[in-house]
Amino acid sequence: MAVVAIVGGQWGDEGKGKIIDLLAEKAKIVARFSGGDNAGHTVVNPYGEFRLHLIPSGIFYPQVTCIIGNGVVINPAVLLQEVDDLSNHGVDTNRLFVSDRAHLIMPYHTLLDALEEERRSKGALGTTRRGIGPAFADKVARLGVRAGDLLDKDTFRNRLSVALEFKNIILTKAYQASPFSLEEMYDQYCHYGEQLAPFIRETSSMIHEAVTKGDPVLLEGAQGALLDPDFGTYPYVTSSSPLAAAGCVGAGLGPKEIDRAVGVFKAYNSRVGAGPMPTELKDEIGNFIREKAHEYGATTGRPRRCGWFDAVAGRFSVQINGLSDIALTHLDIYGGFSSIKICTAYKFDDEVLTSFPSDVAILEKCQPIYEELEGWEEPISGIRNFDKLPAAARNYMSRLEDLLSCPISLVSIGPDRRQIISVKELFS
Ligand code: IMO
Ligand code: MG
């Protein structure tokens, strides 16, 4: 069968939660592989409307085992809250497992995230202030605390005291902040550990076993390609890779196991936080898209910056992810637009750029070059068949496929699970 990675193709918030909730119907395992609770995956289904930050969006199906992989950083308080919320809505969370290798977000990570943002002042990155950057920094600095450490109180105390000693020096000397108490943090996290113990285990073997049996596995990405620390708009990026390839390392699979990589793209572009976005519309069209599509952050409530589809960035995203398919979301938002623009190249000084620059200083100066397509008047959210879509909508999709050199296999035309048009079967 198939391992399918579902990843964000733009700057995050593309509607990954909805696509995963839909495809998980046929999956045995859904595994998150990167990011942390900076993600906000909105799912609307018969159980209600949910904003999942850590738990995979496959949790609503009784046959699906959900895994929070080693590549994720976990804030235990957020995870426990999410487990509670789901249980209160009648969703069974007994099939949830957390990798013992996943790193934990500690209170000093969230505090340092906020202090670093304030220190950057005008140059702030606009992070979600969830402690993501500091937690991943500690992982590679070999100063992290892992979920598995919570299972042995002595190991945990040792790890925490080494890390906290260092963090308290930074907090008090560099930021003149109060130090954290080892005893209080130890007690608090031991308490989390007792509640999380049933979920924590080695998880890569579970995925490997499913792959060996040929069971369908979904790898759930977070964020989007343009927030990748290597290929995104550095330094305005997140701190773990949202790319399909990271699905291997973040879940414990080899690259040849991934059969399809599906990039989720909105029919337009949005971005939350700082950093260049060439097609941003700071006018009534941008405001109209934001209000019609409720483009406010699921994690922070911040208004998202909205603009026309950027096919230069989109083509780059297809390449660096190695996408086999596109899931196009929010196409319904364009209903009623008499014309729609797509950015096909950038103007930089006297040059025309057709590839995405690696330097944000260049990207900041890029002016979009647009192609204008005919729009359509009628609402499309009730349509379930590709052929019934207005010709202009099909034409828009076909132009995106050409520009991105990748087929669109799914089209979402509303937030509900049923508001979807499947063009091609993804699990084969
Ligand atoms: P989902 O999974 C959109 C952005 C933040 C900020 C930058 C760095 O819902 O698509 P961080 O807190 O990660 O250090 O912030 O990344 N960002 C997201 N934007 N969707 C997300 O996740 C995001 N996760 C982080 O706004 O610009
Ligand atoms: Mg989101």
- Burial track 327-360 (b if 16+ CB lie within 10 A, e otherwise): bbbbbbbbbebeebbbbbbbeeeeeebeebbeeb
CA of residue 110 to ligand 1 center, whole Å = 14
Q: Is 13 a catalytic residue?
A: yes
User: In the beta sheet, which residues pair with residue 217?
Assistant: 3, 29
Q: How many residues does the chain have?
A: 428
Question: Residue 108 pLDDT more than 80?
Answer: yes
Residue 287's pLDDT is what? 97
Q: Which atom of ligand 1 is nearest to the CA of 113?
A: 14
Question: Scanning the structure block, which residue is given the tokens 């979600």?
Answer: 128
Please provide the average confidence, as pLDDT, over all residues in the chain. Answer: 97
Which amino acid would we find at residue 42?
A: T
Q: What is the pLDDT of residue 298?
A: 84
Q: What share of the chain is helix, strand, coil (3-state, %, to 5)?
A: 40, 20, 40
The residue-averaged pLDDT of 52-57 equals 97
Q: Do residues 37 and 67 lie in contact, with contact meaning Cβ atoms separated by under 8 Å?
A: no
What's the pTM?
0.97
Given a cut of 80, is residue 1 above it in pLDDT? no
Quick one: which of 308, 274, 248 has its CA closest to 70?
248
Catalytic residue among 37, 41, 138, 330, which? 41
For 132-190, write each residue's pLDDT tens digit. Answer: 999 999 999 999 999 999 999 999 999 999 999 999 999 999 999 999 999 999 999 99
Q: Judge whether residue 71 has pLDDT over 90.
A: yes
378: how many CB neighbours lie within 10 A of its CB? 12
Contact 97, 58 (CB under 8 A): no
The helix (run of H) or strand (run of E) holding residue 29 is strand 29-32
Residue 426 is predicted with a pLDDT of: 84
Q: How would you label 252-276 residue by residue, b for 16+ Cβ within 10 Å and e otherwise?
A: bbeeebbbbbbbbbbbbbbbbbbbb
Q: In the chain, pLDDT over 70 holds for what percent of residues? A: 100
179 C-alpha vs ligand 2 centroid, how far in Å? Answer: 33
Q: What does the pLDDT read at residue 236?
A: 98
Closest listed ligand to the CA of 227: 1
Question: Is the torsion defined by CA of 254, 256, 257, 261 positive or negative?
Answer: positive
In the structure, which protein residues have their CB atom closer than 6 angstroms to any atom of ligand 1?
8, 11-13, 35, 38-41, 125-128, 130, 132-133, 222-224, 227, 238-239, 272-273
* 36-53 pLDDT tens trace: 999 999 999 999 999 999
Q: Contact 196/87 with Cβ under 8 angstroms?
A: no
What is the model's pLDDT at position 427? 76
CB 312 within 8 A of CB 10: no
Ligand lying closest to the C-alpha of residue 273: 1
Banded model confidence at residue 425, pLDDT cuts 50, 70, 90: confident
Q: Which atom of ligand 1 is nearest to the CA of 133?
A: 14
Considering every ligand atom, which ligand is closest to the CA of 270?
1
Secondary structure of residue 292 in the 3-state scheme: helix
Residue-level pLDDT at 428 = 63
In the block, residue with structure tokens 């992810």: 321
- Whether the per-residue pLDDT at 366 is higher than 70: the answer is yes
Q: What distance in angstroms lies between residue 7's CA and the mean position of ligand 1's atoms?
A: 13
Does the structure show a pLDDT above 70 at 337? yes
Instruction: Give residue 87 CA to ligand 1 midpoint distance, Å.
Output: 27
If one residue of 13, 237, 238, 294 were mutated to test the ligand 1 pocket, choosing by the most ligand atoms within 8 A of its CB, it would be 238
